[in-house]
Chains A and B, each alone.
Chain A
């Protein structure tokens, strides 16, 4: 097996008595597009927060390309090459869509760019066109629809050509036509060297995009297989649908 880009070793996190992650271990190789699945409350977003520095794990280790980033601050993890989006992509009320993208551009650039005056940027215009946000470029970013905010957050995450891109439900609220476009954009990013970890409930999207899926249930990793194998995996079926009721027994 080639060296992992992202390696999780025994990652655990509890909120009080509630064990949200319980010894999760996984390896993601460079260039993979991996779906992170599981029922609501299974710990997917918590795992993403623990990886990306937004929530320090109680135990375990996270490495990116061999660099230990366990419990490092989010900005340090970002600079190590990880970009992420959020399930609920809140956007600023007093910044335009273009300004938000520009802020992402500055963050991805050299520190000396920080004091340069900001202005129009052809690359940002191209990005706005690619994500079909050109018509809302000069509106407050908070006024965008839920789907447009998702697109903007993906566009932001791709600004710095990250080594690992973690997406938390990127297609929720996005128009079906744009989902296809998003699959194309994400595959293109993967082709250019970005590894993807995608939380998603839309199985069609997962099948179109991912080559591999890992599944969480109640904080445990219960499956690691190809998308087409998920429906034949007993543990996955049970996690989503519950245990089958045996003949002769009455469901209560």
Chain B
């Protein structure tokens, strides 16, 4: 397996975890979160702070998980006071505020320069073995995240989330505490996003505010929309598909001998155009949610 394929597969696994987190929020529960990248950022900056303060990496994971749980709870709390569409705008705004703070506060994790030199995961192993070990770890965690999401989707709690997504008034009349359900979903998915962020930080060995750009959130949205909203199999497939599609753009540039600007522009077109095309022609994605719950 080439280094390139291992690299793309490893990143696809981390994005797969993020896509599952977004699917838990948006697909299953109807929580339209445009600020998912902030929860991912809790994981990356947890790793960065631990590195800056001389803490062991696992302490950075714990820090990232605490940040993410608190931010997830704050997002959920906002949801108690806002309608769905305003909540989506608020989450986008909060993620942008977080990015701007980390960009402009020089004393806070290096400001715009970010933090570099984080230890890479499995650094003690030979390079080839370490790359495969990382891929195996990320794939295993993707499987764990998938199993958690499937378990939730097929449980009674999952049914209550679907009802909250579609008919919140009916859910309340049946006795469901929607604020509590929202809190649980936000915390579980925030922890998943933070784990992904922590691993990403120790994969790239660098953490910076440009990793929190809003287009990253929309990349994850494209994975969910293209793969199949509310279908866990679908969103993992969407993450792998999108990651490989984006990774091969530079090769297309070389084949057609076009300028380097083409790469960034084409990636944006793939994400934006993909979202638009699927919303118009195949809004349920490649693998639609199967009504009846035999798989979600």
Contacts and interface: CB of A to CB of B under 8 A. Distances in A.
Interface of A: 52-54, 73-75, 78-79, 83-86, 89-96, 98-100, 102-104, 106-109, 113-118, 138, 140, 153, 156-157, 159-160
B10 to A, nearest CB: 31
B127 to A, nearest CB: 42
A108 B160 CA distance: 12
Contacts, number: 109
Contact of A92 (B154, B157, B158, B167): B167
A115 B176 contact: no
Contact of A79 (B160, B175, B178, B292): B175
Contacts of A53: 172
Nearest to A159: B174
B155 A118 contact: yes
A107 B203 CA distance: 43
A114 B174 CA distance: 14
Interface residues of B, number: 28
Contacts of A86: 169-170, 173
Interface string B94-115: 0000000000000000000000
B163 A92 contact: yes
Provide the main secondary structure of the chain B interface: helix
Contacts of A92: 162-163, 165-167, 170
A79 B158 CA distance: 20
Contacts of B166: 92-95
B293 A140 contact: no
B173 A96 contact: no
B54 interface: no
Contacts of A79: 175
Contacts of A84: 173
Given A74-B173, A78-B173, A103 B230 contact: no
